Structure 1
Amino acid sequence: MTTSELSSCLYNMNTESSPRLLSLDIFRGATVALMILVNNAGDSKHKYPQLNHSKWHGFTLTDLVFPCFLFMVGVSVVFALDKKKAILTDHKKIIADAFRRMTLLILISWAILLFLKHDIPADIESYQAKISYLAAHLRIPGVLQRIAVVFFIVSLLYLKTDQRFRSYLLIIILLGYYIILCFIPAPGLTYPSLEPETNWGAWLDQLILGTGHLYKVTWDPEGLLSTLPSIATCLLGVQAGSWLKRKDIDTGAKVSWMFVYGITAIVLGLFWDIFFPINKKLWTSSFVLYTGGMAIAALALIYWLVDIQGRKRFTWPFVVFGRNALAAYILSDIIRAVFNMVPVGGMGGMEFIQTRLISTLFSSPYNASLAGSLLFVLLCWLPMYWLYLKKIIIKV
């Protein structure tokens, strides 16, 4: 088997001999649609509360999006690598391809930040000075970067370990992260802290990455230490994918076990919240269980409705996004950046559309903002629909 053949199989379940599970595309598509919606407000000053991340401790619908995406990465790893893991005793080619994907995703993210999202002060004129400024202010961590790193690490774990090891590792990560953040003071402190600038994650990011390369200067919601519990989120997806792939139990038993596992995780997450608050920016252990349980239960419900009961009406818009989920997310960043580069009426293109067109149609600024977000989702959906019609799946 050649490297190109292996590459064509990763994240592409069309190559599986078993029937394609439409529920996976629907879940992934709904997740990326919601991710684009909450990331691209028509008017950022007038967003409904559930379309904003929680300020610190707490939970909103928006906080569910990223863990669901990482959860589906874990599910996809199982479907992409299951046969390859069994057929090939030497996994070097698969690992090399996974490493290439990780590197390419990170480079794409940095390219978007450098060339499309960074504003350079007007007093910096020379080309060399601009390059130096961008290099000094490039945000190193980020959403795509975390997806890439977690995908690679979980791929290695799936190839080289069994489910029992991964289950123990999941528990160790959650408990270890809890102990580090809640019982061990970060250097310079006399008490453990969960505050934004004084927890272990912030200290580690400042030490290794420096303040010029973080989203919030002194801390980053996708920082180094919180990548550990995000791996745990992805491992929950691996567990769910492994259940769905099993042929020794019937579909009803799969759904039942997924519901039980999901609800149990939700309850444990809510109980742990008493001691270790649910917090997306810290990616706390309670957050992993709470959101992971929701993802498992939601996937079980969609699997039962669509793949078992055959209720597929009105699902195809999500399938369109689901077939090219990562491409849709990357495209959303590019579309917004390009529109805002084009000045119209003394403002960026997206702002002009929102303030001069959409806002005039609504009496409520919150409804106008939501309408602008939905329009942007549609704008991203249309090229994905063309790819869907052409049966093109873009793989990074």
Structure 2
Amino acid sequence: MTANQLSAAAGSSQRFFSLDVFRGATVAFMILVNNQAGKAFAPLQHASWHGCTPTDLVFPFFLFAVGNAIAFVLPRLEAMDRSAAVWKIVKRGLLIFLIGLLLNWFPFVKWENNELVGKPFETLRIFGVLQRIALAYLFGALIIYFFKARMAFYIAALLLLGYWVITAMAGNPADPYSLEGFWGTELDRVILGEAHMYKGEGVAFDPEGIASTIPSIAQVILGFLIGDYIRQKGKNAEMVANLFMAGVVLWLAGMAWGLSFPINKKIWTSSYVLYTVGLATMLLATLVQLIEFRGWKGVVPNFFDAFGKNPLFIYVLSGVLPKTLWLIRIPNGLNEAGEIKYTHPLGWYFQNICKPITSRPETASLLYSVSLVFLLWAIAWYMNKRRWYVRV
């Protein structure tokens, strides 16, 4: 083997605890921001449209981590028979998509007029967070597998530039980057139908729709390129310095692009991809420096590491657990008509434990979401202790 090959082999065999911590922290914050009860602090809310809050960083950071992980499993895929490797990628993508679809439908029944009735498929939302992860992983991994790192970079650039051009030209000329003017909404209406779309904006608009999946594939590819660089270089100061500088460059490029193509999570703009990849890369470089070189392995990194060992399972559980508890009804006084009102265990906990602690609704909401994070951490910690790892 050549010196470069020996160096690459050594780098690929090294374990990066910092990557597990990064992935776990992302999952923990996804749970935190997705489980606010009532009014939340501004940083724990999504930007109303253009712009980026800390909450808007969580999802793209997870896709970035998905790309990182591909870099470390790619050598095993390349060692397999091509058809087996492709089927492994496709099967994983399809399973994650199916899990996301079932999670949208779960628990398949709901309370209506004091009776449990089935939740109809006719109004089931087709897309969602897990579905975007599935599609971005599926297409990103296939591009990486067939075209390798250099060509994958060019494809990612083409996806981002092409998405910008299409969004500018195919949308409403008055404002193609607005809620009403975004071209992807009409595409979703035609293919999915309004009944199967998200309506959290007051209209049928899906922030994880078909069109905005295009740049999210580039997010995974860029995450892979960063992970591949780490794997190839191994643990050395030059790698960390270059990683941080790459993050700065990507962040500044995203800021600059945002002047003409606004940074926006809900339509996942190309500037948003560069902006968030840049921040994720800087954060990852910082964690590598602190954990791999300065030996920071205390309570905080170990806390997040537990989430990082079973990230998808814990994320799914964070949706399944509340939805299951919502089916349990607890009498909660009478309404104006003298009829019994009901709450559920989590609603009771929020009303009787979190709210009495503070007069500020944002703080009560935070206490509630932090409680869920610690509950799920306990499950993640126990699973890690018993070496129970759920793989899809």
Identify whether the pair has TM-score above 0.5, normalized to the shorter chain.
yes
Residue in 1 that maps onto 2:258: 273
Change (3 A) 1:139 1:118: farther
Is 1:367 matched with 2:352? no
1:223 match: secondary structure: coil
Alignment CA distance shift 1:288-1:17 (3 Å): closer
* Residue matched to 1:196: 179
Q: Which amino acid aligns with 2:245?
A: V
* Counterpart in the other structure of 1:4: none
The CA deviation at 1:37 is 0.2
Partner of 1:116, secondary structure, is coil
Note if contact 1:27-1:302 (Cα within 8 Å) is conserved in structure 2: yes
Aligned partner letter, 1:255? V
- Which residue matches 2:48? 55
Alpha-carbon offset, residue 202 of structure 1: 0.6
Task: Please tell me whether residue 223 in structure 1 is matched to residue 209 in structure 2.
Answer: yes
| Cα offset, 1:115, TM superposition | 2.8
Residues 271, 329 of structure 1: CA spacing in aligned structure 2 closer, same or farther, 3 A cutoff? same
CA distance in 1, matches of 2:91, 2:191: 24
Q: Tell me the CA shift for residue 137 of structure 1.
A: 0.6
Structure 2 equivalent of residue 28 of structure 1: 23
Aligned to 2:82: 91
Question: 5+ residue gaps in structure 1?
Answer: 1-15
- Distance in 2 separating the partners of 1:112 and 1:174: 30
Q: Please give the residue correspondences for 1:206-221 in structure 2 after superposition, counting only pairs within 5 Å.
A: 206-216=189-199, 217-221=203-207
Alignment of 1:245-394 (within 5 A): 245-247=231-233, 251-314=236-299, 315-345=301-331, 346-394=342-390
Q: Deviations over 1:361-382 (max 9, x none)?
A: 1232221111111001111111
Shift in Å at residue 322 of structure 1? Answer: 0.5
Tell whether the 8 Å contact from 2:101 to 2:127 is kept in structure 1 after alignment: no
> Partner of 2:57 in structure 1?
64
Give the AA of the match of 1:137: T
- Could you tell me the TM-score, scaled by structure 2's length? 0.89
CA contact (8 A) 1:265 1:293 kept: yes
Q: Deviations over 1:250-279 (max 9, x none)?
A: 621111111111001111111111111110
Question: What is the CA–CA distance in structure 2 between the aligned matches of 1:393 and 1:22, rounded to whole Å?
Answer: 17
Query: What is the deviation of 1:336?
Result: 0.8
Matched-pair contact (CA < 8 Å) for 1:91–1:159? no
* Cα distance in 1, alignment partners of residues 114 and 351 from structure 2: 29
The Cα shift of 1:51 comes to: 0.2
Say whether the 8 Å CA contact 2:27–2:311 is kept in structure 1. yes
Residue by residue over 1:65-93, the C-alpha shift from the partner in whole angstroms, topping out at 9 and shown as x without a partner, is 000000000000111122331x23x3211
Provide the C-alpha distance between the structure 2 equivalents of 1:392 and 1:190, rounded to a whole number of angstroms.
53
Give the 5 Å matches for 1:117-136.
119=110, 122=113, 130=118, 134-136=120-122
Percent identity, aligned pairs only, is: 36
Find the aligned partners of 1:121 and 1:294 in 2 and give their Cα distance.
Answer: 45
1:113 aligns with 2:104: yes
State how far apart, in whole Å, the 1-side matches of 2:257 and 2:166 are: 15
Cα distance 1:342–1:82, how it changes in 2: closer, same or farther (>3 A)? same
Deviations 1:144-176 (A, max 9, x none): 001111111111112111222111112111111
Contact 1:117 1:337 (C-alpha < 8 Å) held by counterparts? no
Measured after TM superposition, the shift of residue 221 of structure 1 is 0.1
Q: CA deviation at 1:17?
A: 7.5
Partner of residue 136, structure 2? 150
Q: Does the CA contact (< 8 Å) of 2:12 and 2:232 recur in 1?
A: no
Query: Aligned residue pairs: how many?
Result: 368
Please say if residues 174 and 181 of structure 2, whose CA atoms lie closer than 8 Å, have aligned partners that are also in contact.
no
**Match of 1:8?**
none
Unaligned runs of 5+ in 2: 1-10, 332-341
Q: Please provide the CA RMSD for this pair.
A: 2.0
In the TM superposition, residue 117 of structure 1 has moved relative to its aligned partner by: 7.0
Deviation, 1:225, is: 0.6
> Does the 8 A contact of 1:178 with 1:285 survive in 2?
yes
Provide Cα deviations, 1:222-258, integer angstroms capped at 9, x if missing partner: 00010010011111111111111114x7621111111
